[in-house]
Structure 1
Amino acid sequence: MTRTTVVAAVAGLVMLAGCDSSTEPAAPPTSEDALTTPTEEPSEDTEVTSEPAETSEEATSEEPEAEAGDMTSDGAEAAVAEYFDMLTAVHLKEAEPADLDSLTTEDCSTCEVLRDVSDTGDGEQQYFRLINTEGLATGESAEVRASVEQLEDGQVVDLVITLIWGDNRWSIEEIFLP
């Protein structure tokens, strides 16, 4: 036998091994078999979770919340939010008026009026709710436009709040109507 004959014979046997003697076609897979593919079971070392792994982009995309000690527009907005939170705390008798004074300058006449009104509160309910803020800081001064809701009557009031930078934080300088 020649080498070509041997190769042809082996190839023929390999092809015939895949066939059976039946003349009937094979049954099609069931609908469930057609829709699923076998998967390898996880080993004991594999961690099974229902949450996707956090990517490095997701891990770094969260920005830290601004603080009143940041000399930025966001920091000025945070100082305004802190002021209204403290105003509420004084009104609810959860803080002292002096705590509120520490967030303002001595020249803020509106701040004095709001402090006095809050200090005479009954401690039963919140007086103001800060709705939104939009600030612009330029150097050591900032202006924040804010909307607050007076909870007693539901009236929304737009305010302009000026701030000044000093002692590594923003202080409320004045509050007025636009």
Structure 2
Amino acid sequence: MENSPQANKKLPVYAVTYTSNMDKLKQAKNGDFSSWRGKIKKHGSELIEVSEGFDKKLDCLLHRQELVNKYSDHPLHFYNPEAYTVYVVNLDKEVWDYNGFKKQNNGKLPSNGCYLYIGQTSKTAKQRFKIHKSKKNGKPHPDSSTKVVHPHGESLNLELMKKYTNGNKYTELDSLLMERKLAIDLRKLGYATYYN
């Protein structure tokens, strides 16, 4: 869904977005939107509401949706394209040595012996997997899942991807919800799964 009303000089347009860049947020609190992009950079003039302290992106995006609903009776700019896919990566069994992986699976080994990572991306699954496995300056790529996919990722699981996601496109929020749902559903089928 994208709602982009025509500008009206008498009626303000609200924009709902998020950032993890604290410097950018501080500037915006002072009325400086020069470090933002697009319509916010060009037309931003005042912060109406700021919500901080989200540990997970999913929580942030759920709150963003609440704000969209809250301000839906105002002219609203909310860029939310269906540009994300959900992908599945086969992992080696050594991933079990990572405590975070064990914890997500409640210490229960997979009954079918398969270990999986479920992720979401605005890139293709192949491009995202390549980033997970690549290095930058001799270290795992900063956008990689450094404790799971970078050291333990073996390949994309095209069969499960075709069966469960089939290349469907989602909004960012919906892709994170699907990532979690798929990880939980596959766990019920005997896989050990990990998602962010």
More helix by share: 2
More strand by share: 1
TM-score class normalised by the smaller sequence: under 0.3
More relative contact order, 1 or 2 (CA 8 Å, 6+ apart): 2
